[in-house]
Amino acid sequence: MSPLIRRARPSARSLLAPPMRGGSRSVIDRSAAALEPIWNVVCAIPRGSASTYGAVARAAGLPGRARLVGFALRVAPAELNLPWHRVVAAQGRIAFPRGSQHFREQVRRLRAEGVRVEKGRVAAAALELFGPP
């Protein structure tokens, strides 16, 4: 566990909803400890690259949990300074609605790092997939 995440753990816990109740195996553990692998993978995406929600989930050992990656980015404490802008939807598409403030901010940040973004998509050469898709 990285020291940065260890320091942020109390803040993360306060942001997260209490665990869901039920006997189903599909209940997602939304504690800070469960989200740390996702945060670590996002921190590992190199400057000038991007990755998809699905690839981040697989690299964190959570295949099929792309939506959990989105949740983890949304609730991450600001102190982590996660490079959230390096995570995009499938085929390099920016997930935010075109023209929204978040869309413009993600495009701005990616371009500032030298990533080519055209028509709301990141160039395939910039995608870091962390192994086979």
For the chain, give every domain's residue range.
29-124
What would the pLDDT profile of 44-96 be if each residue is shown by its tens digit? 999 999 999 999 999 999 999 999 999 999 999 999 999 999 999 999 999 99
Residue 14's contacts (CB-CB under 8 Å, 6 or more residues apart) are none
- Structure tokens of 80? 């982590």
The matching CATH number, chosen from 3.40.50.300, 3.40.190.10, 1.10.10.10, 1.20.1300.10, for 29-124 is 1.10.10.10
Q: pLDDT-derived band of residue 131, with 50, 70 and 90 as boundaries?
A: low
pTM of this structure? 0.75
Residue 127: strand, helix, or coil:
strand
